[in-house]
Structure 1
């Protein structure tokens, strides 16, 4: 993912979702947990997030135990895309986007619940490494 893609495509979808939710929920504050990937830390990204009024939560430099994509979404994608070959990065991106769109909303909500459990487990272990839940 590039910074341009993240700012123009991803954050534009985030903005639409926030606007939709704000009409239903009485909150003006939006928090986002980004990992420390380059596009997420780029100046253009941080500026766009600031303009959108989104506060980014601090993320540890390396914490795979706390990254929802690592423990929930990547295994699903790995299973669904296993054995497929892609000659172009665009084809891989299209396949990944297609697969992510087939995951039901309830499953994404489950990912969030599992993430909350992991955060509590991390606090309980004082930030030390822990095995699967």
Structure 2
């Protein structure tokens, strides 16, 4: 489908997913390493528990960069209704603004099999737009650009930061997403294509490397 003379282009793909972001993101373990002489106690490093403050972000991006960053309101569940009315509607508006001469039927949507993504209300809404939904195998984060690239990069960049307000956290998320070079977005979609090929060649079995 995405070969040089194929019917589809990587630039037509719009992909996104949800992720939780804490008001304090734990630095990677490698940054917590320290030398101890064996004589004293190791310093205690506090870890946020499951009740730590956090909010759900939904991020959509394409070949050129971020399109939509949506923050789920506090004490609100991610439902199909919310996903359609607040997330996909924003995606549609941004695409229409960026590419006014391109029909939404040209858009290829890539998202996973979460309940809000596969619900009848969502599929009906996408059918009305005429957008094609690319198939995504269940439980395969290694084939989702958000999971194998964007979210790990974002969490790594925000590691160690502490935020008191959701506005500050949102500003930081948006800022970090936009500092990623456009060519990196290009490259990850090409990497996604390579991963798909390797998955097909291995008949769906596990393989090492990218």
> TM-score normalised to the size of structure 1?
0.77
Partner of 1:53: 130
* Structure-to-structure mapping, 1:96-115, within 5 angstroms: 96-115=173-192
Moved over 6 A (4+): none
CA shift for structure 1 position 19: 6.7
Partner of 1:14: 91
Gaps of 5+ in 2: 1-55, 57-77
SS in 2 for 1:49: helix
Superposed CA RMSD in Å reads 2.8
Q: Which protein has greater RCO, CA pairs closer than 8 Å, 6+ apart? A: 2
* Structure-to-structure mapping, 1:1-133, within 5 angstroms: 1=56, 2-3=78-79, 4-16=81-93, 17=95, 20-21=98-99, 23=101, 28-86=105-163, 92-133=169-210
More strand by share: 2
Q: How far does the alpha carbon of each residue in 1:16-55 deviate from its partner, in whole angstroms, 9 at most, with x for none?
A: 315744626x894332121112332233322221121112
CA shift for structure 1 position 75: 2.0
Q: Separation in 1 of the partners of 2:188 and 2:155?
A: 16
Q: Separation in 1 of the partners of 2:208 and 2:120?
A: 35
More helix by share: 1
> TM-score normalised to the size of structure 2?
0.52
Gaps of 5+ in 1: none
Distance change >3 Å, CA 93–CA 39, structure 1 → 2:
farther
* Contact persistence 2:105–2:132 (CA under 8 A): no
